[in-house]
Structure 1
Amino acid sequence: MFSIKSILLVLAGAAATVALPFDVATRDPGTLVERDETLTTSGTGTYGGYYYSLYIQNNCCTTFKLGTGTYDVSWASGAEDVVAGIGWQTGSTSRVLTYTAKYGATGDTLIALYGWSTNPLVEYYVIDYVGTYNPCSGGTQLGQVTSDGGTYNICETTRTNAPSIQGTATFHQYISVRTSNRLGGTITFANHVKAWASHGLNLGAMNYQILATEGYESNGETVVTITSHN
């Protein structure tokens, strides 16, 4: 629920582009799953068999529409930072999920498997799509891991006296960033957990875990659907 960009404001480096981003102004609404519940302010809960989380820094200009196994989030730059997604209130290190996504956003954005652990307190990201800033550019580079048909760069950073799921705290971030953007596929989380551990980055007890969209000082819309999971 906290922006990588706000942590690493000095990061730079354009990300790889993805073919066929969808145009939110001209898309065919008939191709989207009907949404049944809409949120416009920060909150968490359960819907359609999934846990959901929505964080809006300024509670501005954001719409988060929920369906069964799917969400549609749109936001404007006035929100400053938005993190939205669906998943599980208690994550799993053995999670395997397959998803599809449509993307129509600009600026500092990402799509990732995102979550927290406790004891130790860790915030983690497995990023499949990254916009104008690559968060691994400013972290400690630890190598790569090959998983699910792609290569991910691994990095680690530390936040000091920062907001967390346990209040203000000092904690580590473990981050995997795919070297070529994609909008959909399978994420085998255990591959990243094993790769992180090989560099001494060990997770603790799993807290919530979501397939998330984040946008920082940006605007746009994503539609994300979890098609299968263990």
Structure 2
Amino acid sequence: MVFLSLLSVVVVAVAGVYAFPGNLTQMREIRRAVTAQQTSPGQGTFDGVFYSYFTSGSSDTIFTNIAGGQYEIQWDGNGDFVVGQGTNPGSTSASVTFGGSFEPNPDAEVILSVYGWSENPLVEYYINEFNNGGKFDITFDATHKGTVTSDGSLYNIYTHQQVNQPSIQGTATFNQYISVRSSERTSGTVTVGNHVNAWASLGMHLGQMNYQIVAVEGLSGSGQATITVRG
């Protein structure tokens, strides 16, 4: 069980306690105190940090919250999932810092993004940082609107309308706003306001902010990630 071994190491580091083989009971107590495996989709807070866990139910996912603004996801199979940690409500002026390990298989359709929603208007937005070499084409059937340079890279900006799709308000029709980073990365800082301002200059306006997370989203393949979020 490689997953459990790795998770134990992470947990011990977060807790600031060094557990040795002779103290397995203490280690188990620490692990229970600073992790929470989510057994069903939903939203909530863990250790004061907002999390969201969505899955279509057709892929095998294990989502675990870890204290200190960290989470782990393991996945295998086909079917959409979106998981992550962040804030609720989000902010149009946030600087979101993220990092950790990101280990998809080479053919996995998976992305890492600052992701969230606004209401009035209802908008789903992505500031996409990693798409596994283009394996997950988040811009399929989208319209290219322009570019913005932020945080050391050019981002291409797209918009797309989703018709009768799941949303934070149930099945609905809404727009997606998408910024895609040219130089992929799995750690760094995203200056959200740069994208919000660029979108607005192109007529793409957000409404009242709902949640905002650093999200892993996958459609197929397998892998695992452990992500720490600061924002």
TM-score (norm 1): 0.82
Tell me the residue number matched to 2:209. Answer: 206
- Displacement of 1:187: 0.4
Distance across 1 between alignment mates of 2:187 and 2:39: 26
Tell me the residue number matched to 2:192. Answer: 189
- Displacement of 1:32: 3.0
1:96 and 2:95 correspond: yes
1:111 and 2:89 correspond: no
> In structure 2, do the counterparts of structure 1 residues 198 and 33 end up closer, same or farther at CA, with 3 Å as the change threshold?
farther
Distance across 2 between alignment mates of 1:47 and 1:64: 13
Tell me the residue number matched to 1:77. Answer: 77
**Aligned mate of 1:32, from 1, 4, 10:** 10
Q: Percent of aligned positions with the same letter in both sequences?
A: 42
How many aligned positions are there? 203
Superposed, 1:128-147 pairs within 5 Å as 128-131=129-132, 132-147=135-150
- Displacement of 1:82: 1.4
- SS of residue paired to 2:221: strand
- SS of residue paired to 2:200: helix
1:125 and 2:126 correspond: yes
> In structure 2, do the counterparts of structure 1 residues 121 and 71 end up closer, same or farther at CA, with 3 Å as the change threshold?
same
- SS of residue paired to 1:136: coil
Tell me the residue number matched to 2:40. Answer: 41
Distance across 1 between alignment mates of 2:81 and 2:35: 21
**Aligned mate of 2:219, from 199, 212, 216:** 216
- Displacement of 1:143: 1.4
Q: Is the 8 A contact 1:101 1:184 kept in 2?
A: yes
Q: Which has the higher helix share?
A: 2
- Displacement of 1:136: 2.4
Distance across 1 between alignment mates of 2:94 and 2:62: 28
**Runs of 5+ consecutive residues of structure 1 not aligned to the other structure:** 1-23
- SS of residue paired to 1:195: helix
Measured against aligned partners, the alpha-carbon deviations of 1:162-189 in whole angstroms (never above 9, x if no partner) come to 2211122111000001011101000000
Q: What amino acid does structure 1 have at the position aligned with 2:199?
A: W
Q: Is the 8 A contact 2:70 2:228 kept in 1?
A: yes
* More displaced stretch, 58-67 vs 207-216: 58-67
> In structure 2, do the counterparts of structure 1 residues 46 and 191 end up closer, same or farther at CA, with 3 Å as the change threshold?
same
Tell me the residue number matched to 1:14. Answer: none
Measured against aligned partners, the alpha-carbon deviations of 1:34-79 in whole angstroms (never above 9, x if no partner) come to 551111321211011211011121165211111120001001115x
**Aligned mate of 2:167, from 164, 168, 182:** 164
Q: Is the 8 A contact 1:40 1:62 kept in 2?
A: no
Distance across 1 between alignment mates of 2:10 and 2:83: 18
> In structure 2, do the counterparts of structure 1 residues 64 and 28 end up closer, same or farther at CA, with 3 Å as the change threshold?
closer
Distance across 2 between alignment mates of 1:29 and 1:83: 20
Measured against aligned partners, the alpha-carbon deviations of 1:132-187 in whole angstroms (never above 9, x if no partner) come to 02322531001111111111110000011222111221110000010111010000
Q: What amino acid does structure 2 have at the position aligned with 1:116?
A: W
